[in-house]
DNA sequence: TGAATAGGCAACCATATAGTTGCATATAAG
DNA sequence: CTTATATGCAACTATATGGTTGCCTATTCA
């Protein structure tokens, strides 16, 4: 897995809101996902394309509609492989930080 | 906490590498952090400024050196408050996805 | 003191990003 | 068949981003 497109996809608040919406209710159409966003349908399409490229969203054509679904796997993988590394050594990092701040008074 | 600067800071592979480096060894100077990156010192400075603005890195002036430390707290908070939401309902999302893909053959 | 070291500041440039508008296409409904 | 609906495609624009270079400041050390 290439994590970079996932991180980049998550960097935009509109895209995070779209993921939130699809987590709440899967199978939404493009039109439904546009509601509540003060931007054009085409702008939302672009965001969805970025989310699909990162494999965070999967869509299926259903007649003239396109239904969108969240794929939680990439987020899980980032949590496990990347964030986990930072969680495993947080106490040491915080201790370093605390010591550095204390020593700065000398 | 505003999570947006943190997500944006994490979106760049150079900045993730800098965090990795500081996780491995805290207290590195700007010059040390520049080693291994094929870019100017000023470019690295800009990345570090973005990481500091997101509170992912804390630095202290020590004579003519500046020492940098990882602050793991924002990553922890994102993991807990944001990613946790996606991890709590992954089975349902995957089931939705599987069902959608199966139904698409009808 | 004077030179070398470590870093800061500001202007500039190229490309990426996020948005727009206009028009085209395909399916559904009457 | 015709119209309305749902989406797709492409061109264009403005701003953000990531990088550069040149020069300045502040320590350290001989």
Tell if the CB–CB gap between B83 and A78 is shorter than 8 Å. Answer: yes
* Torsion sign over Cα B101, B88, B3, A35: positive
Rounded Cα gap, residues B16 and B1, in angstroms: 20
Tell if the CB–CB gap between A100 and B4 is shorter than 8 Å. Answer: no
pLDDT reported for residue A106: 41
Among all protein residues, pick the one whose CA is nearest to the C1' atom of D19. B43
What angle (nearest 5°) sits at the alpha carbon of residue B27, between those of residues A95 and B35? 145
A84, two tokens: 């986990």
* B59-86: average pLDDT: 93
A67 part of contact set with chain B, CB < 8 Å: yes
A36 Cβ partners below 8 Å, 6+ apart?
A21
Secondary structure string (H, E, C) spanning chain B: CCHHHHHHHHCCHHHHHHHHHHHHCCCEEHHHHHCCCCCCHHHHHHHHHHHHHCCCEEEEEECCEEEEEECCHHHHHHHHHHHHHHHHCHHHHHHHHHHHHHHCCC
Rounded Cα gap, residues B56 and B53, in angstroms: 8
Rounded Cα gap, residues B6 and B54, in angstroms: 5
Which tens digits make up the pLDDT trace of A26-51?
A: 999 999 999 989 999 999 999 999 99
Interface size, chain A vs chain B, as Cβ–Cβ contacts under 8 Å: 114
Model-level pTM greater than 0.85?
yes
Which tens digits make up the pLDDT trace of B18-70?
A: 999 999 999 999 999 999 899 999 999 999 999 999 999 999 999 999 999 99
Q: Which residues of A touch B69 (CB under 8 A)?
A: 93, 96-97, 100
The closest alpha carbon to A70, from A91, A101, A48, belongs to A48
Distances (CA, A) of B42 to A62, B17, B45, B53: 51, 16, 5, 16
A51 Cβ partners below 8 Å, 6+ apart?
A9, A15, A18, A19, A57
The per-residue pLDDT of chain A, averaged, comes to 88
Q: Which residues of B touch A66 (CB under 8 A)?
A: none
């Amino acid at each position: 897995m290439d994590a970079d497109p996932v991180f980049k996809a998550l960097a935009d608040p509109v895209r995070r809101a779209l993921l939130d919406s699809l987590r709440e209710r899967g199978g939404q159409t493009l039109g439904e996902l546009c509601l509540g966003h003060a931007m054009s349908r085409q702008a939302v399409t672009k965001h969805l394309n970025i989310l699909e490229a990162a494999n965070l969203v999967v869509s299926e054509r259903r007649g003239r509609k396109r239904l969108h679904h969240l794929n939680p796997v990439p987020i899980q993988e980032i949590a496990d492989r990347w964030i986990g590394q930072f969680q495993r050594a947080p106490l040491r990092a915080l201790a370093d930080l605390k010591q550095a701040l204390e020593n700065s008074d000398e």
